[in-house]
């Protein structure tokens, strides 16, 4: 009986996470993998994030991925955008923006990240998102570069998925709650140089 | 299996075999060129500081420098050589310092002579003890006119300490014995 209850609760938790409104199940890979939660100064890391099972609410379409970076990251560079949910013929494109401002209220500015530009005018905040009609899987990759620092700066890397009712032009508040996905939360591995004794020839 | 055990025991000894310099480092007085170095690491830059009147003559930024101490007087120079390393991230290492002792010894040699040819050997005296005499007519620590013959000869007393060599010189004169002609009767 207890075993059955445990299994039931576990399943519920997974289902809750997988099918929460305006969110999805996100997975990620980091290359190279961190060592003891740390990267050395100057390390270039390739991060790939996949979101499945995005559940639309109130016809909010999926607008984009907003990246949050800790102060230890010196730069982030786009590598590959997500694919259109409806395929190439569905219209619109995924673009990399350092900053994107919504036209729906309240006006919200996010970025950097990948955002969906439905009318292909280079602006993501003035239109709708990528319509999740086919239970899509969105995958994108970026490279992150750890700063050359002598202090153990934070290397937080979070990805927040947002709908067009928040970051686009769709007037809906059904998806106003955004839950960030933490890809990594470590520090720079500070290793001051060590030199040996002086020798005299 | 024996080989493995041997290598296992030998490896720590090999790994610890590293050239080091005793602190303070001894430098011979008026030595124009000394080389100081630390094990190099790719990507590091090295910042050396040498106390005046020492002068860095080469290798700035690298793991090995040349220093000219010829203007330094004898005695101890505290923190004479300091080095730090900076890696690509701009992190700076803990400094490593080395004291330098400028070694000067002034030997003396007691003057002897002049002698007459054929005189008995005379013991040479020099300070500090432990040096070596050399020159024409020197046999061990004695000067022998029977060996040198007549004339004036430089005798050198050489003292060696910590790889440094210092000398003192004196001249010894050996005069010939007068030679008389046979007595004649007029």
What's the pLDDT tens digit per position in A96-115?
999 999 999 999 999 999 99
| Chain centre to alpha carbon of residue A55 | 17
Domain assignment present for residue B85? The answer is yes
pLDDT greater than 90 at residue A135: no
Q: Which residue, A38, A67, A76, A50, is CA-closest to A139? A: A50
Q: Which helix (H) or strand (E) holds B123?
A: strand B122-123
Q: Is A44 on the interface with B (CB under 8 A)?
A: no
- Dihedral class, residue A87 (left if φ above 0, else alpha if ψ from -120 to 50, else beta): left
Q: How far is A141 from chain B (nearest CA, A)?
A: 26
Domain around B123: 108-175
- Dihedral class, residue A71 (left if φ above 0, else alpha if ψ from -120 to 50, else beta): alpha
Count of C-beta atoms within a 10 Å radius of residue A99: 12
Nearest to A150 among B41, B46, B90 (CB): B90
Count of C-beta atoms within a 10 Å radius of residue A70: 19
- Do the chains contact at B37 and A199, CB–CB below 8 Å? yes
Decide which of A6 and A135 is more confident: A135
Point out the domain boundary residue: B39, B74, B103. Answer: B103
Domain assignment present for residue B8? The answer is no
A10: helix, strand or coil: helix
Domain-by-domain residue ranges, chain A?
Answer: 22-188
Task: Give the contacts of A30 (CB within 8 A, at least 6 positions apart).
Answer: A45, A46, A47, A183, A184
Decide which of A97 and A176 is more confident: A97
Mean pLDDT of the residues in chain A: 87
Q: Are residues B93 and B130 in the same domain?
A: no
Point out the domain boundary residue: B52, B76, B103. Answer: B103
Sign of CA dihedral A56, A61, A64, A66: negative
Confidence of residue B20 (pLDDT cuts 50, 70, 90): low
Q: How far is B87 from chain A (nearest CA, A)?
A: 6
Q: Are residues B86 and B118 in the same domain?
A: no
Nearest to A197 among B46, B63, B96 (CB): B96
Q: What residue spans of B111-160 are helical by DSSP H?
A: 145-148
Domain assignment present for residue B124? The answer is yes
Rounded to two decimals, the pTM is 0.63
The answer to whether the beta carbons of residues A155 and A186 sit under 8 Å apart is yes
CA-CA distance, A112 to A77, in Å (whole number)? 10
pLDDT greater than 70 at residue B25: yes
Write the ipTM: 0.72
Fold entry, domain A22-188: Immunoglobulin-like (2.60.40)
Q: Tally the domains of chain B.
A: 2
Residue B136, judged by CB atoms within 10 A of its CB (0-12, 13-18, 19+), counts as: middle
The answer to whether the beta carbons of residues B63 and A201 sit under 8 Å apart is no
Least confident of A111-120, B83-92, B147-156: B83-92
What is each CA distance from A116 to A65, A83, A129, A165, B64, in whole angstroms? 9, 10, 6, 13, 57
Domain assignment present for residue B162? The answer is yes
What's the pLDDT tens digit per position in B104-141?
999 999 999 999 999 999 999 999 999 999 999 999 99
Q: Is B109 on the interface with A (CB under 8 A)?
A: no
Domain assignment present for residue B186? The answer is no
Which chain A residues are closer than 8 Å to B86 by Cβ?
A: 193
Q: Are residues B152 and B85 in the same domain?
A: no
- Do the chains contact at B38 and A195, CB–CB below 8 Å? yes
- Helix, strand, coil in percent for chain A, rounding step 5: 10, 40, 50
Instruction: Give the β-pairing of A38-39 and A187-188.
Output: parallel
Q: Are residues B118 and B82 in the same domain?
A: no
pLDDT greater than 90 at residue A182: yes
Residue A53: the pLDDT is 85
Point out the domain boundary residue: B103, B126, B141. Answer: B103
The answer to whether the beta carbons of residues A4 and A26 sit under 8 Å apart is no
């Amino acid at each position: 009986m207890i075993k059955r209850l445990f299994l039931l609760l576990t399943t519920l938790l997974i289902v809750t996470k997988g099918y929460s409104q305006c969110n999805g199940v996100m997975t990620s890979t980091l290359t190279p993998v961190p060592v003891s939660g740390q990267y050395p100064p100057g390390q270039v890391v390739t991060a790939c994030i996949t979101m499945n099972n995005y559940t639309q609410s109130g016809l909010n379409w999926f607008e984009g991925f907003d990246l949050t970076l800790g102060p230890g990251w010196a730069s982030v560079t786009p590598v590959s955008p997500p694919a259109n949910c409806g395929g190439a013929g569905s219209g619109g494109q995924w673009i990399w923006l350092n900053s994107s401002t919504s036209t729906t209220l309240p006006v919200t500015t996010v970025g950097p990240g990948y955002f969906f530009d439905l009318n292909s005018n280079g602006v993501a905040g003035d239109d709708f998102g990528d319509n999740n009609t086919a239970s899509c899987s969105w995958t994108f990759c970026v490279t992150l570069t750890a700063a050359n620092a002598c202090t153990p700066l934070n290397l937080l890397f979070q990805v927040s998925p947002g709908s067009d009712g928040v970051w686009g032009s769709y007037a809906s508040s059904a998806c106003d709650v955004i839950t960030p996905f933490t890809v990594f939360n470590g520090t720079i591995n500070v290793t001051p140089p060590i030199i040996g004794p002086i020798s005299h020839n | 299996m024996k080989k493995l055990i041997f290598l296992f025991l030998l490896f720590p000894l090999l790994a610890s075999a590293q050239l080091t310099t005793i602190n303070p480092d001894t430098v011979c007085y008026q030595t124009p060129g000394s080389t100081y170095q630390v094990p190099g690491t790719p990507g590091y830059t090295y910042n050396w500081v040498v106390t005046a009147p020492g002068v860095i003559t080469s290798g700035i930024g690298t793991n090995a420098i040349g220093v000219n101490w010829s203007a330094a007087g004898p005695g101890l120079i505290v923190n004479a050589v300091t080095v730090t390393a900076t890696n690509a991230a701009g992190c700076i290492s803990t400094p490593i310092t080395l004291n330098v002792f400028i070694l000067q010894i002034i030997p003396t040699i007691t003057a002897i002579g002049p002698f007459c040819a054929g005189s008995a050997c005379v013991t040479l005296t020099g300070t500090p003890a432990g040096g070596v005499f050399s020159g024409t007519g020197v046999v061990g620590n004695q000067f022998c006119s029977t060996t040198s013959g007549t004339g004036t000869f430089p005798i050198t007393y050489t003292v060696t300490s910590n790889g440094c060599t210092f000398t003192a010189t004196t001249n010894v004169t050996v005069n010939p014995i007068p030679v008389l002609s046979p007595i004649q009767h007029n």
